Amino acid sequence: MQCDYYAFRRAEMGGSLNALEQAAEALEEAKQARDRNARDQAENQMKQAARQAVTIEPHLAYLWFEAHNSELGNSIRDAWQESLTAGAIPQTFHFTPDSSVITYLPPLSFILRIPFQLYKPYISKDERDFHMLDNPLRKEKVFQKTLMVASTSWKGALRVNTRSSVKFRISPMVASTSWKGALRATLWQLDYKEDKQVTIRLLGNPRGSDEHQAGRLYFYPTFFDQVGFEVINPHSRKTGVGERGPILIECVPQGAKGELFLLYVPFGPLEQSEDERRAQVAQDLEVLAQGIQAMLTTYGFGAKTSSGFGTAEDRLVREGKLAIRAELAGEATPAAALPEPQQPDLPRYLESPTRLHVDLRRSDGSLKSEAEYQALIESREQKYAKKDKQLYAKGWWEREGEKLAQATPQEPEPEPEPGPTETPPVSEYPFRTLSELCKVAQCVAGQLREGGKV
């Protein structure tokens, strides 16, 4: 099926490829004739034909000329680089949750949000085999090449004709599995080997283990809104001359912004005591903060980290946040009570428009005698006063209450409603640098060990 698809796309761009070849021949003739005007015209025709081919299928057009050992693939690649722009994944897709979800998680769960900026370019390897570069960036599987048109909706963008003026907007990403692998490698460098209990609690057992314990950390993908290129030129160690020529690598450039989002849920044995659970969460938080700082600023993430790629600035793009499901000495969010239901404006002797007050009502719904009502008041060691006489509803009962009771079936006694629930306490701790994150983690860990309201 994939072969049929690319055969169809090749036939679709046949006119553009033929026009590019004809313009290349005209360019050679103009060079031999030393005709400057004809040369400029041929170059413009080549660029226009290359742009048309790129709007249909850039990788297929490039590989077509590469298979024929033609240098025209460079024109396709140049046009592709000009049209290549990155676009952020819309927040409406909710690839990362909102911080408010912490209120639905178990006690001592926490969310860590770190908006960072790249200090060195980020390089990764995409799973696509059909690409004009040997080293493409990993992109979101669905939106890695989305046809976008200015001032149009997603629905309209999907219906646009591929021959019209469109832009290729890609979404470079760091997959959640990549984050987990980078953090595991960093903890190994910090002497938290795979057999350490804190490493197993955070990341689970390594692949191939027989225990199959999942980690408490859940990673979310990170999306970037920029894309660029790096060029490397491997040299021979003997001669010092380039061996394979310049190699173009797709990357997320220096200065691009992203956000690392982590979720921690402290599940464990049922027989575990509260003190043990607090001690584990405190240790996990300290080790996690130390590992994240080292991963982002020292050891890096992605490919070619030994060459300095994939590191971030210590100072964050904006304020980061640690939100933990516990009431600690931080910026705790107040508990929000549910609004009380509004009651209709009724006389004191009525519970509803058709029901007497419970003190005045017999089990069958009829009105108690005044003696029965007085006995009830006095049984509460209260004096039968004037206000109690005013509450007695004999006039309303004779006027309309008795008729309503006969016309409508008796309503069952309402069950007592549960009291208003409160939002669980959540403590939030902001930080502006990765170094400050480690200090915040130590502060929170100390409070957890001392004990606090959960």
341 found inside a domain: no
Domain around 40: 2-85
CA atoms of 38 and 26, how far apart (whole Å)? 8
Query: What is the predicted pLDDT for the residue at 152?
Result: 35
Whether 81 and 97 map to the same domain: the answer is no
Whether 12 and 102 map to the same domain: the answer is no
Whether 320 and 362 map to the same domain: the answer is no
Whether 326 and 379 map to the same domain: the answer is no
Whether 251 and 131 map to the same domain: the answer is yes
Query: What is the predicted pLDDT for the residue at 218?
Result: 93
User: Total structural domains in the chain?
Assistant: 3
Whether 319 and 184 map to the same domain: the answer is yes
446 found inside a domain: yes
Whether 141 and 29 map to the same domain: the answer is no
166 found inside a domain: yes
CA atoms of 183 and 344, how far apart (whole Å)? 59
- Please, what are the averages of pLDDT over each run of 10 residues along the chain (454 residues)? 70 82 85 86 86 78 78 78 62 67 89 93 74 69 46 34 42 86 93 90 83 88 82 79 75 89 89 88 94 94 86 93 84 43 57 67 73 76 65 62 57 53 77 94 90 58
Sign of the C-alpha dihedral, residues 353, 358, 364, 370? negative
CA atoms of 454 and 448, how far apart (whole Å)? 10
Asked if 388 contacts 348 with a C-beta cutoff of 8 angstroms, the reply is no
Task: Please give the sequence-ordered ranges of beta strands (E in DSSP) within 299-417, or none if there are none.
Answer: 315-324, 331-333, 350-352, 355-356
Whether 55 and 161 map to the same domain: the answer is no
Whether 78 and 95 map to the same domain: the answer is no
CA dihedral of residues 154, 155, 157, 162 (deg, nearest 10): 150
Among 85, 114, 147, residue at a domain's last position = 85
Instruction: Find all residues with CB under 8 Å of 220, minimum gap 6, and list them.
Output: 95, 96, 97, 176, 261, 262, 263
420 found inside a domain: no
Query: What is the predicted pLDDT for the residue at 264?
Result: 95
DSSP 330: S
CA atoms of 120 and 436, how far apart (whole Å)? 21
Among 70, 85, 100, residue at a domain's last position = 85
Asked if 343 contacts 442 with a C-beta cutoff of 8 angstroms, the reply is no
Whether 29 and 80 map to the same domain: the answer is yes
Among 60, 85, 110, residue at a domain's last position = 85
If one counts every other C-beta atom within 10 angstroms of the C-beta of residue 168, the result is 18
Instruction: Find all residues with CB under 8 Å of 318, minimum gap 6, and list them.
Output: 115
Whether 72 and 172 map to the same domain: the answer is no
CA atoms of 312 and 257, how far apart (whole Å)? 9
Instruction: Find all residues with CB under 8 Å of 107, minimum gap 6, and list them.
Output: 325, 326, 424, 454
391 found inside a domain: yes
105 found inside a domain: yes
DSSP 145-197: TEEE-TT--HHHHHTS-TTSS-EEEE-BEE-HHHHHHHHHHHHHHTT--TTSH
Whether 167 and 308 map to the same domain: the answer is yes
* Packing angle of the helix pair 58-67, 73-83 (nearest 10 deg): 160
CA atoms of 255 and 196, how far apart (whole Å)? 35
6 found inside a domain: yes
Query: What is the predicted pLDDT for the residue at 26?
Result: 86
339 found inside a domain: no
If one counts every other C-beta atom within 10 angstroms of the C-beta of residue 204, the result is 19
